Chains A and B, each alone.
Chain A
Amino acid sequence: MNRAIFAVAGAAALLAVPAAGAREAAAPGVTATQIVLGGTGPLTGSESQYEPVLSGANAYFAYVNAHGGVYGRKIVYKIEDDGYDPAKTALLTSKLVEEDKVFAIFNSIGTEHALAVRTYLNERKVPQLFVGSGATPLAREHATYPWTIGLLPSFAGEGAIYGRLIAKDHPNAKIAVLYEDDEYGSELLAGLERGLGAKARQIVGRQSYALNADNVVSQVTSLEATGADTFVIFALPKQAIQAFVAAGKLGWKPAEYVTSVSIDPAVMQIVRLNTGPQTGVGATSTGFLHDPTNPTQKSSAGVRLYLQIMKRFLPNEDSKAVAHIYGMMAAYSMVAALKGAGPRPTRASLLRAATHLDVANPFLLPGLRVTTTPKDYFPLSKTYVVRYAHGFWNVIGKPLKTS
């Protein structure tokens, strides 16, 4: 057992000893023996590749529960399938709050989905924690929506990193951008333009696609026709795969940049299987999580803990899916917040703890921490540039600020 595992197990064991009176019910979803959390995400449908975000988090909670829980309370995580449809997210979130009486909403997936329930949850002062999004409104509008905190690095900040990289590495680039036609894609695009500065004029093509689009081939064909030599892909995994494959089949060989939400190892594996081994080589992205498939990271404490939890609690699931380790990273942050909320947690004490985090997280790459303050609602403010080579996304240089 490595040091990080000891640290987690030790902390969990410590917390398993409840303080006097700690077993009194303190808030909705909190009993003497358990804390009930709720979350939504696409368990089915075209974006179901994100399901491991939820099951990974649940596996980490199972691990914590096996070590005594938090202040002796077991974490129960109720997960609802919204099929990546914001309208369903709203209905199911309401169900979790009104019927299941959850203590907090945790780790729900999607920007539009989080925005669809933000007002509702804030009106009821239900913590909406560590949303799977890096959208600016979730972080910057905390004065109006103090109960909502995202988790991903700022999308705009990520886009700006690509802009600065392109301006530096390809100063004469002719840039084509594929982006999702929503808050997520628009923020990445705005960040890219900000990072490019005056070179934003070198964007020769912009093509968007609708959330849940089946196909982006026509958009990629249009972008290739602009004569661009740099292709920026701000798309979810399904559409990112289609974009890489379409470019490959067109014989288009631009410098490629792809958003960090689409760098699961399977993305490039599928791309290469459908086009050839050279497609995607040299592509640039950003990353903040350990990659359990990368041989250079397999001996890290985080990856070893991750694999130990996968083996015990999700033995038949895909341990190569980075979304699992993301879910565990989110759950680790949530456990830190629950611990900070004290032995008699209330929703207010949970929010207070969630806005005063400064914790190392074994599932993050070295040098990254989860930090929040009442005025900083971006828990992850740094990320690394990664480049695809030799079958893996390889970490380049030092972490860069995203917010």
Chain B
Amino acid sequence: MRNRYRVMLSAAAGVATLAFASSALAANTGTVAVWHTPQTLANSQSTTIHVKVPQDTNPIAAVNIYGPAGYTVNAAQAPGTQIGNVDATAFSRDNNLTLPLSGTVVTADPASSASTSGSAQCTGVPKSEAVWIMNLSVAGNTLAIPVYVNPTAGPETALGATKLSICLPPPDVPVGTPGRSFQGAQLLEAILTVKNVFTTPTSGGLAKWETLFTPYNPGVGTINRAGTFEARAFVPLPIGFGVTAKYKSKKARTYVLSGKINEGGLPVSGLKLTVRRGTSPSKLAKVGTATTTASGSYSSAGKLKVKKTTYFQVTGAVGERDYTAAGCQSPLTPFAPAGCVSATLSPWSGKSVTVKLNK
């Protein structure tokens, strides 16, 4: 079964924001993280956007995610092309249960009547440049949620070059209310991965992805524009994994492995690295760990057991990291009256090149 979320944005568009000041004061929050696999320059393999909204935040009416300038976007896939996958959780008010959802992301025809009417309602743009359908399924029920993709224009260019817009119906209005979400489902989390859509910039640094969340006023299904808040995702590009191997004493077969880890040109401190070693570059086994210093440097010493050419590699990974203190500077109040509530630094995993010590 497929339900296309119908959004009642237009009905609520004229609502005066001051009338809902009390809900605007609620502690609404959310996070967004963005990462690429691999996280390198000029790469288009895979982009993941992770949106998370706590259950006690007012239900979200619209999520607008802005891809930064410097990226290129391929929005020219033929309708029906699967461009990715999505995993999500939603709280069903009708069942009082959190539901796991997952499915494909497929391009739709932006010129179809469903796409144009949805685009006009959700974004105000009569025909979006691209429309992606997130097919979120659980137990055979599929919710088809469109993502409208458009270049930004006018003042919005300050937020980014490309806008992904998702509009959601209200879950907390009384059962039977027209436009209420399927089974009162309130989106809590979505992990959207698309392939060969975004190509990362050619120059390094911290790429900032802005996201604006616009909540509903609780229980009434009207949009609380004054409650729009901002969450930021920072993507360090590229991830640098420096490594060199040297004999400390060739006679004693002791060695030192050292290097520096950085992300977007900034040192990564406190990162636990795995050191792998072997006599074949395709058969490396973990032999130890090392932790980076404040400057991103690390070193690891050891002794070789056999007199053979030996290969080394270091690997490491970080999770999503709170970056709010630094990342929420200069909030974009005109766009997000409720302020910047979070900033998140990308997770990534990486590995160095394989280096060797000759016997």
| A residues neighboring B (CB under 8 Å) | 43-44, 48-52, 214, 237-238, 241-242, 245, 264, 266-267, 269-270, 273-274, 315-318, 320-321, 323-324
Contact = CB atoms under 8 A, between A and B. Distances in A.
A44 B95 CA distance: 15
B181 interface: no
A318 B100 CA distance: 12
Nearest to A265: B139
B89 A273 contact: yes
Given A273-B98, A316-B104, A316-B106, A49 B139 contact: yes
Interface of B: 1-2, 82, 89, 94-95, 97-100, 102-104, 106, 133, 135, 137-142, 144
A131 B298 CA distance: 68
A264 B140 contact: yes
Contact of B100 (A49, A238, A245, A266): A266
A49 B141 contact: yes
A242 B89 CA distance: 17
Contacts of A266: 100, 138-140
Given A48-B141, A242-B97, A315-B82, 7 more contacts: A48-B1, A49-B140, A270-B97, A273-B98, A274-B97, A316-B2, A316-B106
A264 B142 CA distance: 15
B1 A264 contact: no
B82 A318 contact: no
12 contacts: A48-B141, A51-B1, A245-B97, A266-B138, A266-B140, A273-B89, A273-B98, A274-B98, A316-B133, A317-B137, A318-B138, A318-B142
Nearest to B104: A316
A316 B135 contact: yes
A318 B141 CA distance: 8
Contact of B97 (A49, A214, A241): A241
Given A238-B95, A242-B95, A315-B82, A267 B139 contact: yes
A400 to B, nearest CB: 27
B91 to A, nearest CB: 10
Contacts of A323: 139-140
Contact of A318 (B89, B95, B98, B140): B140
> Which among A242, A274, A324 has the greatest number of chain B C-beta atoms within 10 A?
A274
Nearest to B183: A46
B100 A273 contact: yes
B139 A237 contact: yes
A317 B142 CA distance: 7
Contact of A270 (B2, B100, B104, B133): B100
Nearest to A319: B137
Contacts of A44: 1
Contacts of A237: 139
Contact of B1 (A43, A241, A269): A43
- List 7 tightest A-B contacts by C-beta distance, closest first: A318-B137, A321-B140, A266-B139, A52-B140, A49-B139, A316-B135, A51-B1
A331 B12 CA distance: 47
Contacts of A317: 135, 137, 140, 142
Contacts of B106: 315-316
B6 to A, nearest CB: 15
Contacts of B89: 273
Nearest to A245: B97
A245 B99 CA distance: 12
Contacts of B2: 316
A321 B97 contact: no
Contacts of A50: 140
A270 B90 CA distance: 11
Contacts of B82: 315
A133 B309 CA distance: 68
A51 B1 CA distance: 6
Contact of A51 (B97, B102, B140): B140
A264 B135 CA distance: 19
Given A238-B95, A241-B97, A316-B106, A270 B1 contact: no
A238 B97 CA distance: 10
B175 to A, nearest CB: 10
A324 B142 CA distance: 13
A324 B140 contact: yes
A237 B140 CA distance: 12
A211 to B, nearest CB: 17
Contact of B137 (A214, A238, A273, A321): A321
Contacts of B104: 315-316
Contacts of B135: 316-317
A274 B99 CA distance: 8
A380 to B, nearest CB: 21
A316 B139 CA distance: 13
A273 B88 CA distance: 12
> Which among B99, B139, B144 has the greatest number of chain A C-beta atoms within 10 A?
B139
Nearest to B137: A318
Contacts of A51: 1, 140-141
B95 A264 contact: no
B140 A270 contact: no
A271 to B, nearest CB: 9
Given A48-B1, A273-B89, A316 B97 contact: no
B100 A269 contact: yes
A43 B139 CA distance: 13
A269 B139 CA distance: 10
A321 B140 CA distance: 5
Given A44-B1, A318-B103, A270 B138 contact: yes
Contacts of A242: 95, 97
Contacts of B100: 266, 269-270, 273
B125 to A, nearest CB: 24
Nearest to B3: A44
A43 B140 CA distance: 10
B144 to A, nearest CB: 7
Contacts of B103: 316, 318
B144 A316 contact: yes
A52 B1 CA distance: 8
Contacts of A238: 95
A321 B142 CA distance: 11
A44 B104 CA distance: 22
B4 to A, nearest CB: 12
A318 B89 CA distance: 15
A320 B1 CA distance: 14
Contacts of A52: 140
B150 to A, nearest CB: 23
Contact of A316 (B95, B99, B138, B142): B142
A28 B106 CA distance: 40
B139 A321 contact: yes
A260 to B, nearest CB: 15
B109 to A, nearest CB: 14
A402 to B, nearest CB: 25
Contacts of A264: 139-140
A318 B144 contact: no
A73 to B, nearest CB: 28
